[in-house]
Homo-oligomer: A and B are copies of this chain.
Amino acid sequence: MEQIPVLSLGDILLVSIQVDLEDQLALRLQEDLSNRIVDTGAHGVIIDISALDIVDSFIGRMLSTIAAISRVLDAETVVVGMRPAVAITLVELGLSLNGVRTALNVEHGLRLLREAGPALFADAGDDGEDEAAAASADDATARR
C-alpha cells in the first residue's frame, strides 16, 4: 500500500501510522493531510503511532513538520499512542518532538483538541457533550 489513509471525524482528521515511513510515503502523507485540512476545514489532526516500535529522527522530524504545516493551516496536531519504549528512546536520543502535542490515546487527543477549539464542536451539532469544552472556552480563546 503506498498511501496512509486520512480519516475524518467531524472537524478532526485521524491518521494511524502502521507502516515504515520512507521518504516518498512521508511526503505523500504531508501532502494528503494538508489537502484534507483545506478541503474539510479541519481544526485538529490526531496522529496515532501506537503501531510504531521505533520513532527515529526521521519520523520525529516528519511529525514536527506535519504539526508545523497544520498550524499554518489553522489546525492543531496531537500525537497519540506513543509506546513507553518509544518515549524512552526519544529522550535517550535527545530528540524532542518540536511543536508537537501528545496525548495518551485517541480519546485523550480528542478531548485535548476539543478543549483547544471548542467552538467547532458546538457548531457541529453532534451530541450534547460539550460542557467541558464550553467551560474551558474562555481558557482556549485566551490561549489562542
A80 to B, closest residue via Cβ? B7
CA distance A53 to B140 in the complex (A): 40
User: Residue-by-residue, is A8-26 near B (CB-CB < 8 Å gives 1, otherwise 0)?
Assistant: 1110001010111000000
**How many chain copies?**
2
Q: Per a CB cutoff under 8 Å, which of B106, B121, B125 touches A8?
A: B106
Among A1, A107, A140, A143, chain B packs the most CB atoms within 10 A around the CB of: A1
Nearest CB to that of A139 among chain B residues? B125
Q: Which residues of B contact A3 (CB under 8 A)?
A: 51
A5 in complex: contacting residue of B20, B53, B81, B107, CB < 8 Å: B81
Report the contact-size class of chain A (Cβ under 8 Å from the partner). Answer: 20 to 34
Chain B residue nearest to A110 in the complex (CB):
B9
Taken together as a complex, chains A and B put the C-alpha atoms of A5 and B7 apart, in Å, by 15
Q: Is the CB of A7 within 8 A of B140?
A: no
Chain B residue contacts of A143, Cβ below 8 A: 125
A140 to chain B, nearest CB (A): 6
A8 touches B140 (CB 8 A): no
A39 at the binding interface (Cβ < 8 Å): no
12 contacts between A and B (CB under 8 A): A1-B19, A1-B52, A5-B48, A5-B81, A7-B16, A7-B105, A8-B106, A9-B106, A9-B110, A10-B107, A16-B18, A127-B140
